[in-house]
Amino acid sequence: MENLSDEELFTKVQKGSKESMEIIVKRYYKNIFRYIYMKIGEYHTGEDLCQEVFCKVYNKRKTYSSKYPVKVWIYKIAHNIIVDYFRSKKAKEKKNTVELKYDMEEKNNIIEIELFKNNIEDLTEGLNENQKEVVNLRFKDQLTLEEIASVTNSSKNTVKTRLYSGIKYIKNKLKKRKEDYLENERIE
């Protein structure tokens, strides 16, 4: 059953197959969690919202249209949940609080995610939020331009422009770093 395409699996999910839904969750949980976490920056809330995404996927399974790939539909649901989260009062309250209690496993997970996030964030620092989102969806989540347009409610041309601007910015940043590095090597 794991060899089936997403669309074939989701046809079974629409008929009530929980086993097929588990496979869909296994395929997409990490990527959806990372997408959410990169947008909100809170580990526990990211987990909660990720679970909400897959609950919504299952609950709305009958409304899925094969017009879009399952992958895009799941990302679209995640995007909408993130938008709802930021609109909610709960998000505003959470920004002002600091969670101090973590057990060791949670600390390790947070550290790993922060290291990953910092490497990506370092390169995308200076991009606006729309450019960051498009760059992350394209290169980390490997979505196509059409899929990104669908997830972000943007036209394909808008996605191309944001992606081009983001790539140009990152290339210039890397070029400057290389020049600085070579300059420091000559001095030493």
Tens digits of residue pLDDT in 43-64 = 899 999 999 999 999 999 999 8
The pLDDT of residue 105 is above 70: no
pTM of this structure: 0.61
Lowest mean pLDDT among 39-48, 131-140, 147-156, 172-181: 172-181
CA atoms in the 13 A half-sphere facing the CB of 144? 6
> Is residue 56 a contact partner of residue 77, using CB atoms and an 8 Å limit?
yes
The CA distances from residue 151 to 40, 62, 74, 83, 84, in Å, are 17, 20, 9, 12, 14
Q: Give the confidence band of 93 by pLDDT, cuts at 50, 70, 90.
A: low
**Considering the domain 1-101 in this protein, what is its CATH number?**
1.10.1740.10
The pLDDT of residue 166 is above 50: yes
Between CA 4 and CA 96 the distance in angstroms is 45
Between CA 112 and CA 95 the distance in angstroms is 22
Say if domain 102-188 classifies as CATH 1.10.10.10. Answer: yes
- Give the pLDDT confidence of 81-90 residue by residue, as tens digits: 998 998 886 6
Question: Hey, how many other C-beta atoms are within 10 angstroms of the C-beta on 137?
Answer: 24
The residues spanned by each domain of the chain are: 1-101, 102-188
